[in-house]
Structure 1
């Protein structure tokens, strides 16, 4: 019997398994994929996420694979323009956007090195229950015979369409409709810095360097325009870039060479699922999912897998009831992620509310507050501090924002 079975071995599951195994717990990780393998992702890791990798002693291993370091970011919201970078967070002065074929393989390998057992190519078909508690999983590798593994605790780290969540009956208790769809691909021949540009007409361009000298280039539009987009994917893709940042559209046509097929991200609604129950928990996108607009998926997976690992250790070591400890993990996650969730859901509408328009417009006129903006985005400055009414009042005063444009509280 294992102490913990983790279903899903990517950015939430492998770190959780690694951290538990380092504490001496017997851990099994299963995943239907085999590694290295790719997955739909925009790859971005904020400084706050890199800080977790640094603390775990594996950031240097990622950096050694030579993902391009980014130290200058450009954001725009129609006619509001912000560029710069956050102050260091735990000494980290750059961000990376590694390919998932590389990042996930490192994380799986680190789980193995820590002592976790990893079974790849394993599809879970059922969660075993005993005395009303999750007590293991059933599944198979390919067309092989069904196998059964038992454990004191089961964790679903298997993504937004989590099989474990469905099998344990984890209901969604907070949901915000998804506003947009995303298409992206990888391009050779570009020399762009990080770009996150929202244009008129509710459309967005994102681009940043990744491994192999390539750039990930993504576009977003409102979901109601998806059929129109699909009628001519290549043409629509270029049309959005041409309209949002014409000079980048021109450069892409002249110098960019698409290296892979387009990938679509038609995300489900943003949600929180119940993520703790008798003998089970959910982590990563399985329990808490939001639009990719703010790029917080990987960072949150790393951050909250560490919180869950700590709470599971408390329970498994006998210092407190396991279910009680894991329930505390969900409360911490919900409280700490709420600001990111709300900001993401609002910005992903691709049109600023009067409140955010007022705040970001004033921010763009203040070098000091622009740095704070990037600190907010990077996870170094709490939203409660950035958006505090007293701080916004000072910002508006410093930049001489007209009185009728000053909004200090969300309506």
Structure 2
């Protein structure tokens, strides 16, 4: 008998399993994959996520893997172009974009070190129930044998297509359709920091990761998906030539080192994320477009929150149902501003107000820093776009706000 079973062993799952095991709970974590195994990802780890790794004693381990630090971002939209970086957030002055094979392994090792029984190659088929309450899982291992395990709490951390969510009937809400797809690969021979360039219904960019490689990506609307796949190499380079000719020239000076990964983005949504004996975390409970690169950091944030609330319930400090309901309410409240900002930005057609601001930013290093702090989740859009702050920006640019 376990205290907790976690389904999914990547960023959210391995993290919540580790945190609960560190509190002394008996934790089983299962994943249908056999690791190491890559995952479609932005790779981006913002300062808030890095601060949590630091607090868990894992940041130095990540840095020791040789991931290149990111300390500058160049961004453009049409004729607006500017560069800068957020000031330190939670004491962290840089960001990183680790390969998922490296990051996931680091988290899984930390979970095992905390005492988690982490089993690979287990596919969850059903949930065990006593009346309305979930009390365990039924799965199949890699040899085809059925596995039944019991626990006081089952947590689904198994991605946006979550099996646990389907088996519990967890409903989605605040759904916003996904409108884009991405293609990316890794280049060698480049020496660039973070790039985010938005053009005519497409965006391109990149940032350094592990092993001297640079992740290079493009995003386009889904109505171009079929045509794009007819000649990925040509269409990928064309996107750069149309959107950021300077980056297109830079790509020609390097060499693509791996195959392309192509993925359509699923819809944006929240899911009902708790019920009798179960909870959801990570993309299983809350998914948004990767455009702002906050997915991994959010997975850490809300895994931490869920671990705390689950501990309150499992320890008897408060009813488990009440604690899990509080987890979902807090998650929704704190994530909502960036959820809306991300969904709006990912349409690749920015509001006129934002374009005005971006054109003015080169005149004010202070506001440029604020902009990137907002992009990193360290400043709310309400604070940045406050009337007094906008007035100061446009005064610095010698322009009037519309």
If the TM-score is normalised by the length of the shorter chain, which range does it land in? over 0.9
| SS, match of residue 173 in structure 1 | strand
CA distance in 1, matches of 2:2, 2:387: 50
| SS, match of residue 12 in structure 1 | helix
Alignment of 1:11-410 (within 5 A): 11-199=11-199, 201-253=200-252, 255-402=253-400, 405-406=401-402
Residues 89-137 of structure 1: per-residue CA shift (max 9 Å, x gap): 2221111100011000010110111111111111111111112011111
CA distance in 2, matches of 1:370, 1:70: 16
| SS, match of residue 211 in structure 2 | helix
Aligned to 1:409: none
| TM-score, structure 2 as length reference | 0.97
CA distance in 2, matches of 1:9, 1:282: 13
Gaps of 5+ in 1: 407-411
CA distance in 2, matches of 1:387, 1:3: 46
Residues 268-296 of structure 1: per-residue CA shift (max 9 Å, x gap): 11111111111111101111111111001
| SS, match of residue 205 in structure 1 | strand
| SS, match of residue 135 in structure 2 | strand
8 Å contact 2:338–2:377 — kept in the other structure?
Answer: no
CA distance in 2, matches of 1:138, 1:73: 46
CA distance in 2, matches of 1:300, 1:208: 20
Gaps of 5+ in 2: none
What displacement does 1:14 show? 0.8
What displacement does 1:170 show? 0.7
CA distance in 1, matches of 2:390, 2:246: 34
Residues 47-105 of structure 1: per-residue CA shift (max 9 Å, x gap): 11101100111100110001001111111122221211111122211111000110000
What displacement does 1:145 show? 1.1
Question: Deviation above 4 Å: which 4+ runs of structure 1?
Answer: none
After superposition, the CA RMSD in angstroms is 1.3
Residues 191-213 of structure 1: per-residue CA shift (max 9 Å, x gap): 222111112x2111121111111
Is the deviation greater in 382-391 or in 227-236?
382-391
What displacement does 1:391 show? 2.4
CA distance in 1, matches of 2:329, 2:392: 33
8 Å contact 2:363–2:396 — kept in the other structure?
Answer: no
What displacement does 1:247 show? 2.0
What displacement does 1:184 show? 0.5
